[in-house]
Amino acid sequence: MKMARRNDEVLLAANECAARIGLTVRALRLYEQRGLIRPRRTAKGWRVYGASEIARLHEILALKLLGLSLSSITTLLAGKTADLDGTLALQHAALTEQRARLDRGLALVATARAALAEGQAVSTEDLIKLAKEANMTQATTDDIAWRRYEQARPRTAVPVDPLLLERYAGNYRYEGGPVFEVTSRDGRLFIRDPGDDVPIEMFAENETTFFWKAAPAQVSFIKGKDGLPAELILHNNGHERRAARIDPDEARDAAAALARRVENQLPHPESEAMLRHLIAEYQAGRPCVERMTAELAEAVREQFDRAHAKLSAKGTLQTLLFRGVGPAGHDVYRAVFAKGAFTFRIAWSDQGRIIGLRFRPSL
């Protein structure tokens, strides 16, 4: 084991560093050639790796796990020191997704083995699913991974003029659907999503970008030709949602329409038929995003393999029952399958586009 010490810091030779992390010396050289890492040198010219170099290696590997290509990582980290806290946040998100993939794969394997134990043949479709799961790589696209990295990095609040915060106050509507309410009071800025009782405080990173402390999410305000904010962009989980500023009358009309839907518990006329269609398409392995907003379609494509596996494992859809309209305007349905049930939530814009879709297991 070739090791050296400098000011009580343990320094590892290249072969020792590679072996302990699970890399090859060739990989270390490649990262060095790309300028991603700069190992120190001993008096005899041997490369050695200490805490700062290993922190950067950790960052590189976490970004690879998240889905970024090596060329993108090189561009992203150019000129930056290692950010351990941000890297740990990214690694947590990536490992959580990886755990979900492993659970899905284990469920598919268990189902196939149970069929074999009962003397049944494993169908071609199930074999295809198993082969795909064994061969599946991280589904996150480079752009989404890059945005997720940017959104997860640590941020520091800076003071801004309270008068500037007052200019951001108002209502912002997403795709003819939900209305975000931004308020300013006592030199602080808040945002409230429809359906939420308590607004979330936002902290200024600069004069146009604000962040939440409770989650890796940010809001950017875009100014119009008159210098006033014309829209906001919500940055969250690698995705972005743009909401245009609207006047008070439109905001009141939208709030009144939402209140009527919630009070009367009337679903959108297309919700049931669309959910039946989406469930059938997902189970068949076909993402169906034609009626969705661009942001939702991007999220659906990224998460499709997981959704397909979950729905396919439940078997044939038996009943789809309307359960009500949620406080944010989502139509809520309970879908009962041959092997379990899910609760689905679907939301529509005024223009007939799907702006929200999610599901979770139901008892």
The C-alpha atoms of residue 312 and residue 284 are separated, in whole angstroms, by 8
**Is 68:74 a contact under the CB 8 Å cutoff?**
no
DSSP state of 91: H
- Cβ distance 163 to 250 under 8 Å? no
Q: What is the per-residue pLDDT for 8?
A: 61
From the list 244, 285, 278, 268, the residue with the least C-alpha distance to 350 is: 268
Instruction: Determine contact, residues 357/346, Cβ cutoff 8 Å.
Output: yes
Tokens of 59: 């960052």
Q: Going by CATH, does the domain composed of 162-260 fall within 2.40.128.50? A: yes
pLDDT in tens, 49-91: 988 888 888 888 878 776 677 777 887 777 777 666 666 666 6
**Regions of the chain where pLDDT drops below 70:** 1-8, 66-67, 82-101, 104, 124-125, 127-143
Domain 3-77: give its CATH code: 1.10.1660.10
Residue spans per domain, the chain: 3-77, 84-152, 162-260, 265-361
Phi, psi of 349 (to 5 degrees): -90, 170
The whole-number pLDDT of residue 265 equals 95
The pTM of this model reads: 0.62
The count of other CB atoms within 10 Å of the CB of residue 16 is 17
User: What does the alpha-carbon distance between residue 144 and residue 236 come to, in Å, rounded to a whole number?
Assistant: 10
Q: What's the confidence (pLDDT) of residue 71?
A: 77
CATH fit for domain 265-361, picks 3.40.190, 3.10.450, 3.90.1580, 1.10.357: 3.10.450
